[in-house]
Structure 1
Amino acid sequence: MKRMSSSAALIVGLAVAVGAFYLGRATQPTPLASGPSSAASQPGRTVLYWHDPMVPGQRFDKPGKSPFMDMQLVPVYADSAAASGVQVSAAVQQNLGIRYATVRRAAMSSSFDAVGAVQFDERRNVAVQTRVAGYVERLAVRAPMERVRKGQALATLFAPDWLGPQNELIALKRSGVSQELVAAARARLRALSVPDDLVRRSEEAGAAQARFTLVSPRDGVVAELGVREGVAVSPGMTLFRIAGLQTVWAVAEVPEAQAARLQRGQRVKATLQADASQTFEGELKEILPEVSSATRTLKARFEVDNRGGRLTPGMLLRMAVAGPQSERLVVASEAVIRTGKRAVVIVRNAQGGFEPRDVSLGADFGDDVEVVSGLNAGDQVVASGQFLIDSEARLRSVLGNMGAPASAAAASMTGTTGMVHDADGKVESATPDALTISHGPVATLKWPAMTMGFARPDPKAFADVRPGDTVHFRFKEGGPSGYELVEVRKMASGAGK
């Protein structure tokens, strides 16, 4: 009986020992997938340093656990650092709607638009005066701004002071004196401003003529009417002022900042404000040397062709002023991000990555803008989707708020190593390069629920997965989009994410 009790005790002791052994094995910490073995450098590749992808500014000279996040440090290799900029897969670029523009050299004209008011061309104004005292017997033009033609009668004047010299000429001719005396009498009449036509009529009629007609010396309008019918006139008095309309002035107020772009002789194409179908050609004739203190503008005077007589003073013209052409380095205006203190573009480099670059800008040409420095002809820049690339870069801590140098952005890129993470989700779209999945929270990364793209390790991987499938998937850091799928397994219909 005693022997049986000893045997039973021995059996119980062995059982306890075995149980303790296996219990100890079960309670030992299991190495993480991202432990030293997973974060070790890959054979044949040179490690520059280790870093935490979520805090890319800090660098470490050996592997280990990140002091910032609950994750292992990731190596950065020399060959990956050489490829500067953030790498975005073709599928992601298509989803972001990325468009490119090429920096180019083009012959550009520093033209600008202005609005001008039509005025009389005062160089074409002529004054109609009388050089003898007399009276206005009849007015042919009775109101200002009437249109007149060259040679048209304006008024009939009676000049009694011209009767005496004419009678002397007639008497000399009748007396048969020498021709020298007759010629001297004619010269005297000419000196008194007696019209030759009036002298001829006096000689033909044999009687002095005191009435003569004033005619318009050119086509135009009566800008000023200085007399009325029946009034007395004196020598030197301006009776009419005729303004020509063959050309007119368009006077535009140009901002002081654009004054340096004005040069005499610049051509202008003017369009009537009230009727865009009517266009006129003109030329810059004068830049008035006066700047308005209230509006900080100066006046530019353009001569506009008006042989058709369609323009009258007071009309408004929209003018496109063409500047001198010169070859300049330009880029699409939509590609430039202006922050207020600087201008930035996103450049696509030779490796296919994206990197920010500060540029200095010159003149604005509408859809294009001049690049003074920062770019070269042939560079490709992002014209649409810059801010989406910035968001993509921020998610992977690469671009650093579009202000980090290219070398720092390159240093923050990671290889295909790292911890494997599990999540459930629904496939939203599938391309040969990636799967876009709406997934739930990822505890190991402290991610909330979101929708994002995951790169395929191979275009043929997970070929049976279709949009709409509910899946359980595993992924790790790496791949073109930043995270690469390791395993994708369809879940039973109705299973939760």
Structure 2
Amino acid sequence: MSARIWTGMALAGLSLALGAAGGYWFAQQHMTSMPTGNAEATPVSQGERKVLYWYDPMYPQQKFDKPGKSPFMDMALIPQYADAAADNAAISIDPSLTQNLGLRLATVTRGPLANSLEVAGLVSFNEREVAVVQARAAGFVERVYARAPGDVLQADAPLVDLLIPDWAAAQEEFLALKHSNDAGLLAAARQRLRLLGMSTTLISQVERSGKTRPVLTLGSPISGVVQELDVRTGMTVAAGATLARVNGLGRVWLSLAVPEAEAGAITRGQAVEARLPAFPGEVLAGTVDAILPETNPDSRTLRVRVELPNPDGRLRPGMTAQAHLSRSTSQSVLWLPSEAIIRTGRRALVMVAEEGGRYRPVEVHLGQESAGKTMVTQGLTEGQQVVASGQFLLDSEASLKGLEAPVAPEPMTKATVPLHEAEGQVVAIDNAGVTLAHGPFKTLGMPGMTMTFPLADPALVVGLKAGDKVRVSVSQTDAGLVVERLEKLGGQP
């Protein structure tokens, strides 16, 4: 083999060796990290710099208290120096690569606290606008007008002609006494007609015409839909029998299914905007009429009733709608784009952008969500820049480097957590807590209902029994409402 070939092979081997050494040096320089896990190592001097621990760049979550060979890879452990900790608490990216990685930033802003909720609803009859048509006296059905359930009627539209024999005899007697010039007897006869169920208008017609009117025409008292028509020609009906039922359409109900977690934001009288597929582009305004006390056990939703005006009768029961409920307060809070949040299951994180292309994971405590934004109660300040797109790429890089966001302090201590009070009655006491039939928690916007509460201290129910009236104070936690105080009302044994 020639000397030229040997020389070429030697140069190639030298290049490979230099490349491997360069790659290893590059890994040492760029794959450093500062984990903030639960393992802490005593600083060790190495020359003039203090070493916190040694680690394998491929498994940075594992820390070692002395140098050596990695048990995972065929390479030496790398030291983590104390003076490099601050620099390694964040991920550094060349600003020129930001656009290539698809990173998009958003600003933490401050604004009023607003509750906004989109829920589905179903139009139904207004059960408060119902008219019942009954027979005022026993008689026979002479005629049933061409009506059927589902027909829309105007007020006073005729339904049934009823022949009442007792009225004929009483009216004949009244007309005979009219010519006797005995005012007392005439007044008594007129009173008898009223007691038999005749209206003042009908008595006046008989008196003016001098003819008996034993046939009564019953009409619809209001405009609306015929719900029931339980009468046929030739039937005998008793006094007080229900002949028809009419439901008005002047105002209808929109029944909304509100998630249990959002029930505290709903109040009676709250403005609602409804949009129906039947009328695209049209917004109907209404108000919350009632918050029903029962929760659907299957869907865990609360039924909220909204009253909508329906002057032209276009809204028909059975139509579907999408309702928007909103409420603003004077309280100013921090808002963060919801898309910027990384939810790990245990915590919520965001990637905060710093100067020089550095990105740091920060744990945040969150509040309610509205219109694509989420309220921040702890962890950020107004004006900070957070990553709204591409944050999961940075989070993956942080995990590979062993970076963890420090645990954020609790926003409130136990002593400063606000308590919400109501009065109620003890229904049952068991291992799960105390079951109370309580009145409304006005500060929560929560209506009265019967539910079981966990206890902050089991000693709270000592001396209490089912049936006792109490004043209860609860705190709102991540696990729900917890009883903090339970006081028996005075005057009880």
Q: Which TM class, normalised by the smaller chain length?
A: 0.5 to 0.7
Deviations 1:55-110 (A, max 9, x none): 5898999xxx99776799798758x9479633433212233232211111222432
The secondary structure found in structure 2 opposite 1:308 is coil
The answer to whether the Cα contact below 8 Å between 1:110 and 1:261 also exists between their aligned partners in 2 is: yes
Identify the match of residue 227 of structure 1 among 224, 231, 255: 231
Give yes or no for contact 1:121–1:248 (8 Å, CA) kept in 2: yes
Q: What is the Cα deviation at residue 280 of structure 1?
A: 2.4
Within-5 A mapping of 1:365-376: 365-376=370-381
2:333 maps to 1:328: yes
Distance 1:76 1:144, change over 3 A: closer
Q: Pairwise mapping of residues 96-495 of structure 1 onto structure 2 (< 5 A)?
A: 96-178=101-183, 180-325=184-329, 326-349=331-354, 353-390=358-395, 397=401, 400-403=402-405
CA distance 1:391–1:343, change in 2 (3 Å): closer
Q: Assess if the C-alpha contact under 8 Å between 1:66 and 1:73 holds in 2.
A: no
Question: 1:99-135 CA deviation, whole Å, 9 max, x = no partner?
Answer: 2111112224322222222221111001111211111
Q: Deviations over 1:471-496 (max 9, x none)?
A: xxxxxxxxxxxxxxxxxxxxxxxxxx
8 Å CA contact 1:144–1:224 kept in 2: the answer is yes
Contact 2:90 2:403 survives alignment (8 Å): no
The AA in structure 2 aligned to 1:192 is L
Give the deviation of 1:265 after TM superposition. 1.8
What letter corresponds to residue 157 of structure 1 in structure 2?
L
User: How many angstroms apart in 1 are the aligned matches of 2:83 and 2:283?
Assistant: 66
| Paired residue type of 1:152 | A
* The 10-residue stretch of structure 1 (335-344 or 292-301) with the greater mean CA deviation from structure 2: 292-301
C-alpha separation in 2, matches of 1:288 and 1:405:
41
| Partner residue, 1:3 | none
Relative to structure 1, the CA distance from residue 58 to residue 48 in structure 2 (aligned partners, 3 Å threshold; closer, same or farther) is farther
Kindly, what percent of the aligned residue pairs are identical? 39
1:443-477: CA deviation from partner (whole Å, max 9, x where unpaired): xxxxxxxxxxxxxxxxxxxxxxxxxxxxxxxxxxx
Answer whether contact 1:223 1:243 (CA < 8 A) is retained. Answer: yes
Secondary structure in structure 1 of the residue aligned to 2:323:
strand
- 1:161 to 1:70, Cα distance in 2 relative to 1, 3 A: closer
Describe the SS at the equivalent of 1:145: coil
State the distance in 1 between where 2:396 and 2:225 align: 68
Once the two structures are overlaid, the 10-residue window that deviates more, 300-309 or 237-246, is 300-309
Tell me how far 1:330 sits from its aligned partner.
1.3
Instruction: Report the CA distance shift for 1:147/1:103 in structure 2 as closer, same or farther (over 3 A).
Output: same
CA distance in 2, matches of 1:393, 1:294: 41
Q: For the residues of structure 1 that align with 2:141 and 2:78, how far apart are their CA atoms?
A: 110
- Which aligned pairs between 1:52-71 and structure 2 lie closer than 5 A? none
Q: Deviations over 1:167-189 (max 9, x none)?
A: 232222212223x4433332332
Cα 1:103–1:205 shift into 2, 3 Å: same
8 Å Cα contact 1:135/1:157 also seen in 2: yes
Change (3 A) 1:139 1:382: same
Q: Deviations over 1:257-308 (max 9, x none)?
A: 3333332222222222444334422222222222333333332222222222
Distance change >3 Å, CA 89–CA 263, structure 1 → 2 = same
Which stretch of the first structure deviates more once superposed, 311-320 or 323-332? 323-332
**What is residue 445 of structure 2 aligned with on the other side?**
none
CA RMSD of aligned residues (A): 3.6
Q: For residues 133-179 of structure 1, give each alpha carbon's deviation from its aligned partner in whole angstroms, at most 9, with x where no partner exists.
A: 1112112243111111112222222111112322232222212223x
Query: Which amino acid counterpart does residue 223 of structure 2 have in structure 1?
Result: D
Contact 1:110/1:323 (<8 A) preserved: yes
Deviation at residue 332 of structure 1 after TM alignment? 0.8
**Mapped partners of 1:363, 1:276: distance in 2:** 30
Give the secondary-structure state (helix, strand or coil) at the position aligned to 2:366.
Answer: strand
User: Does the CA contact (< 8 Å) of 2:95 and 2:357 recur in 1?
Assistant: no
Is the partner of 2:100 in helix, strand or coil?
Answer: helix
**C-alpha distance in 1, partners of 2:327/2:391?**
33
* Amino acid in the other structure paired with 1:382: V
Q: Does the C-alpha gap of structure 1 residues 77 and 290 become closer, same or farther in structure 2, counting only changes over 3 Å?
A: closer
CA contact (8 A) 1:116 1:250 kept: yes
- Aligned to 1:142, the other structure's residue is in SS state coil
Alpha-carbon distance in 1 for matches of 2:215, 2:80? 112
Give yes or no for contact 2:173–2:189 (8 Å, CA) kept in 1.
yes
Q: Which of structures 1 and 2 has the larger relative contact order (alpha carbons within 8 angstroms, sep 6+)?
A: 1
Q: Residue deviations 1:389-408, cap 9 Å, x none?
A: 4566678x5xx3444799xx
Which segment is superposed worse, 47-56 or 165-174? 47-56
Residues 347 and 217 (structure 1 numbering): CA distance in 2 closer, same or farther, change over 3 Å?
Answer: same
1:90 aligns with 2:91: no
Counterpart Cα distance in 2 of 1:97 and 1:207 = 93
Matches of 1:50 and 1:104 in 2, distance apart? 40
Aligned residue-pair number: 357
**TM-score (normalizing by structure 1):** 0.63
CA–CA distance in structure 1, aligned partners of residues 262 and 313 of structure 2: 31
Given that 2:228 and 2:244 are in contact with CA atoms closer than 8 Å, whether structure 1 keeps it comes out as yes
Shift of 1:385: 2.3
The 1:284/1:185 distance shift into structure 2, 3 A limit, reads: same
* Aligned-partner residue type, residue 351 of structure 2: I
C-alpha distance 296-84 of structure 1, shift in aligned 2 (>3 A): closer
Tell me, which stretches of 5 or more residues in structure 2 are unaligned? 1-20, 30-47, 409-493
3-state DSSP class of the match of 1:189?
helix
CA distance in 2, matches of 1:351, 1:190: 94
Give the greater-gyration-radius structure (CA): 1
Query: For residue 323 of structure 2, what is the amino acid of its counterpart?
Result: M
TM superposition shift of 1:331: 0.4
One-letter amino acid of the structure 1 residue matched with residue 338 of structure 2:
S
